[in-house]
Amino acid sequence: MNLKELYFNRLSLKTEPIIDDTTLRDGVQMPGLAVSPEDAAEIARLLDKIGVERIELHHYQESDKKAAKMIHDLNLSARIAGWCRAVKEDIDDAISCGFEEVGISHPVSYIHLRAKWPDKTDEELLERVVDAVEYAARDHGLRVFVHGEDSTRADWEFEKKFINAVADAGAECYRICDTVGIGLSDPAAPLPNGIPAKVKAIKAETKIESIEIHAHDDFGNAVENTMAAIRAASGVWDKIYASTTFLGIGERAGNAETEKVILNLYMHYGVKKYEGKTPLLKKLADFISKATGYKIPPNKAIVGDYAFAHESGIHTHGVLRNPLTYEPYPPELVGNKRRLTIGKHSGRAIVKHKIQELTGRTPSEEQVLAVLSKIKKIYEGGRKASLREEEFRRILSEVGLS
């Protein structure tokens, strides 16, 4: 029996999760990031390869328009969607860029509605959105998603009217936007910020065909809230879209990470469509980092350089005997690699292993202890970083092991 059969796939889903990646829309809105059209096209190509089924794009600046054309020309399996405000000009712009489906974003919480349109009534606001949806769906034949901005702070009676109105106008999907990340994954949490409660209420009390979750990470709960929505949809909705960004990039604290949601779905819920695609996760992460200027934290789960790094004596000793002691799955599963580093917390096992690896010789216990003594002196001097290979080789030379 293999690792996955032993420790994973104990849960099942009675809904089809669909990743709707918004790295090239919400993600690149993160302050300080930018991406060229050529790199955006390559990101889209790789997103398609890892199993993303819908990719959301910006299309307002000339570079965005160029990127959109390049992505459309790739003829990917993933659907390509534009992002619009509830105004005809944005929809016209999406049409001119070749989009056949759009997301139309509009606030649903009174916090936003009163701040942005203090003089408009609820009915006037509903009419505003309905007009935009009808213009896109009925007048131009576009597939339409409607994004309920700040859904997790919305009055349910108003939001319910909003969802039914856009469904009648031709929208096929409603996106629950946890805009400031206050959603709760607890099934007992009530509306408006209980994510499972909202997923079920929308099914029970509205006409919309399908649903989506878009979670922000202000409380660090974006992945959990995304997974909670998917779990809540199981047995309730035939499918649920998960709006995510690779590496979780995005405004403020960012979004639910695409790679984390995919790996959770694959390993814990046995979603087979990601089979053979997860080894591309690290490659895509590194490409996005290079393309946007975003620096990946070294200890970032799944795709960080140190996600499978071991230095302390207890950990390296365990991993050398059996990687399962301190790794839940092989690094190769996500395209990463194991790193055994020498540093302040290293013990005899890793030092002996490194000596054998670099010299092909088995050191004596005295030689291992001599190397450890020299390492200890380096760190007593205030050194923090792990030793580079050339530094370790120099120590080996000093004790006659070169």
Q: Report CA torsion sign: 26, 27, 29, 31.
A: positive
Alpha-carbon distance of 320 to 315, in angstroms, equals 9
The CATH classification number of 309-398 equals 4.10.430.20
- pLDDT tens for 201-241 read 999 999 999 999 999 999 999 999 999 999 999 999 999 99
- pLDDT tens for 376-397 read 989 998 888 899 989 989 999 9
Any idea what the Cα angle at residue 174 is, between residues 39 and 25, rounded to 5°?
Answer: 15
Q: Using a cut of 0.85, tell me whether the model's pTM lies above it.
A: yes
- pLDDT tens for 240-282 read 999 999 999 999 999 999 999 999 999 999 999 999 999 999 9
Longest dimension (CA), the chain: 84
Supply the DSSP string of 232-288, one letter for each residue.
Answer: HHTTT-SEEEEEEBGGG-SSTT-B-BHHHHHHHHHHHH--GGGTTTGGGHHHHHHHH
Dihedral in degrees, nearest 10, Cα atoms 127, 129, 132, 137: -100
What is the pairing mode between strands 309-310 and 173-178? Answer: unpaired
The one-character DSSP state at 137 is I
Alpha-carbon distance of 91 to 83, in angstroms, equals 9
Phi, psi torsion values for 206, nearest 5 degrees: -130, 170
The pLDDT of residue 314 is 86
CB 242, CB 212: distance < 8 Å: yes
Specify the CATH superfamily of domain 3-292.
Answer: Aldolase class I (3.20.20.70)
Any idea what the Cα angle at residue 221 is, between residues 219 and 224, rounded to 5°?
Answer: 170
CB 190, CB 224: distance < 8 Å: no
Alpha-carbon distance of 50 to 218, in angstroms, equals 26
Any idea what the Cα angle at residue 20 is, between residues 16 and 26, rounded to 5°?
Answer: 155
The pLDDT of residue 1 is 41
Alpha-carbon distance of 277 to 288, in angstroms, equals 17
Phi, psi torsion values for 80, nearest 5 degrees: -115, 125
Nearest CA-CA partner of 17 in 269, 275, 333, 245 = 269
The rounded Cα 318 to chain-centroid distance in angstroms is 30
Ranges for all domains in the chain classified under CATH 4.10.430.20: 309-398
- pLDDT tens for 71-124 read 999 999 999 999 999 999 999 999 999 999 999 999 999 999 999 999 999 999
The pLDDT of residue 46 is 98
E-state strands within 96-203:
101-107, 143-149, 173-178
CB 92, CB 120: distance < 8 Å: no
Q: Report CA torsion sign: 324, 328, 334, 336.
A: negative
Ranges for all domains in the chain classified under CATH 3.20.20.70: 3-292
Percent of all residues in the chain with a pLDDT value above 90, rounded to a whole number: 83
State in Å, rounded, how far the first CA of the chain is from the last one.
43
Integer-rounded Cα Rg, in Å, for the chain is 25
Residue 400 region, left (φ>0) first, then alpha (ψ -120 to 50), else beta? left
H-helix or E-strand spanning residue 394? helix 389-398
The one-character DSSP state at 78 is S
Residue with tokens 């901005």, as numbered in its chain:
149
Percent of all residues in the chain with a pLDDT value above 70, rounded to a whole number: 98
- pLDDT tens for 165-196 read 999 999 999 999 999 999 999 999 999 999 99
Phi, psi torsion values for 199, nearest 5 degrees: -55, -45
